[in-house]
Amino acid sequence: MLNSKSDSYAAAGVDVTAGYETIERIKPLVQSTFRPGVLGGLGGFGGLFEPNIEGMKRPVFVSGTDGVGTKLKLAFMLNKHDTVGIDCVAMCVNDIICSGAEPLFFLDYLAMGKNKPERTEQIVAGIAEGCRQAGCALIGGETAEMPGFYGEDEYDMAGFAVGVVDHDKIIDGSTIRPGDRLIGLASSGLHSNGFSLVRKVLNPTPEALDEYVPELFCTLGEELLKPTRIYVRQVLHLIKTLGMNIKGISHITGGGLFENVPRMLPDGITAKILPGEFPQSRIFAYLTERADIPVRDMYNTFNMGIGLVMAVAPDDVGDIIDALIQIGEHPYVIGCCVASRNPDEKGVELAW
C-alpha cells in the first residue's frame, strides 16, 4: 500500500513525467519514418500496419529480431547515443532482406536504469534514421525504466522487423550450384559483432576512445561506433526494380564469414572465398597488430570488410556489378561456389 511520498513510484526511481516528455520528443522522429500502410500513431497498445499485397499470389511475412550487444558499452563511455539505433535496425532488416523480403515495419524495446528524455531522443533518432534508410516504418515500441536493474547511465535495446515477399520470389539458396559467383558488399567496419573480443583486446578508456588514430583516419571511438550498413535498398534495387536473379544472400554478422555464408548454401556446396579480392577494413588490421588472433578466428568472428554476400550465376555477374556501381555501391567478386568433398556437407574455404 502506498501511504506516503516515500512510497511513491518516483521514490522507487521511476519518473513517469520523464516518460511523457520522451513521447513528445520522439513523436516527430517516429512520424518521419511512416510509409503507406501505417494506421494510427503513437499511443495505442499495438502498432497497426496494413500491407499492400496487390499483385502477390502468395504473400509470406518474414520477421527478424536482434540487438546491438556490447557495442553499447562504448556508447556509454563516449556519451554518444545517436547511432546505435541504426545498428539495431540494421541487424534486423539486413537479416530479412536475405530472404528477398521488403521490410515493412519495425518496433523497438529500450530498457534503462533512468529515463533521460534527451538521451532517449538521441537513441530513437538513430532508430528512425535506420528505418528511413531501410524504407520501413517505426510503428511502435516500449521504453522500460528499470532502476536497480540497470545503472542510471546504462540501457539495452532490441528490435523487431517484419517484411513481406511473394512465395515464388523467396531467396533461399536452393538453386546455388558449383560455379556460381559470390559478390560481396563492403561493410563500414565492425558493424555490431565481436565487441566483447574488441573490448578485451583494446581495453578502451574514455580517453583512448577520444584519441585520433592515424591508421584509422579518425578517433578510435568514431571507428568503433560507426553504424552498421543497411543493405535493403541495394538488394531491392536488384531484385525488385531490375528483376535480377539473386540465388542466395548472407548477412555477415556474429560468426563472421565462416558461420554466416553457409547459412545460404545447400548441402554439397562450399564457398571458396578469396580474401585478396576485397579490401580488409582498417580496423581489422589494427586489431591483429595488437593481439595474436589466429586468421581463422578473425574470419570466424568478424565480417573482415564484407557485410553482405550474394550468390549469383556466372552469366549475371557483369550486369549485377554494373547495376550496383550505378547506385554508388562498391561490389567485389570475392569467390565462387564449388562442390564440397562430402555431398552432405557445406562450408567455407579461404583461398589465399
Is the pLDDT score of 290 beyond 70?
yes
Kindly report, residue by residue over 218-271, the tens digit of the pLDDT.
Answer: 999 999 999 999 999 999 999 999 999 999 999 999 999 999 999 999 999 999
| Helix or strand (DSSP H, E) at 20 | helix 16-31
DSSP state of 150: B
Q: E-strand spans in the chain?
A: 38-39, 48-49, 59-67, 102-112, 137-145, 155-166, 181-186, 212-213, 218-219, 248-251, 269-273, 306-312, 331-339, 347-350
Model pLDDT, residue 17 = 84
From the list 170, 174, 352, the residue with the least C-alpha distance to 269 is: 174
Query: What number of other Cβ atoms are within 10 A of residue 212's Cβ?
Result: 10
Pick the CATH number of 12-169 from 3.30.565.60, 3.30.1330.10, 3.60.20.10, 3.40.50.620: 3.30.1330.10
Name the region of 40 (left: φ>0; alpha: ψ -120 to 50; beta: rest). left
3-state SS of 273-335? ECHHHCCCCHHHHHHHCCCCCCHHHHHCCCCCCEEEEEEECHHHHHHHHHHHHHCCCCEEEEE
Supply the DSSP symbol for 58. S
| Mutual angle of helices 16-31 and 117-134, in 10-degree steps | 20
CB 180 within 8 A of CB 336: yes
Q: Is the pLDDT of residue 2 over 60?
A: no
- pTM for the whole structure: 0.94
Categorise residue 43: left if φ over 0, alpha if ψ from -120 to 50, beta otherwise.
Answer: left
pLDDT value, residue 1: 40
| Structural domain spans, the chain | 12-169, 181-350
Contact between residue 238 and residue 323 where contact means Cβ atoms under 8 Å apart: yes
Strand partners, 112: 145, 155
- The percent of residues above 70 in pLDDT, for the chain, comes to 97
Residue 9 has pLDDT above 90, yes or no: no
In the chain, the percentage of residues whose pLDDT exceeds 90 is 91
Give the model confidence (pLDDT) of 76-118 as tens digits. Answer: 999 999 999 999 999 999 999 999 999 999 999 999 999 999 9
Between 186 and 5, whose confidence is greater?
Answer: 186
Task: Report which residue type is found at 94.
Answer: N
Measure the CA angle with vertex 212, ends 207 and 216; round to 5°: 125
Among the four given CATH numbers 3.90.79.10, 1.10.8.60, 3.90.650.10, 1.10.260.40, the one describing domain 181-350: 3.90.650.10
At 303-331, the pLDDT tens digits run: 999 999 999 999 999 999 999 999 999 99
Topology agreement, domain 12-169 and domain 181-350: no
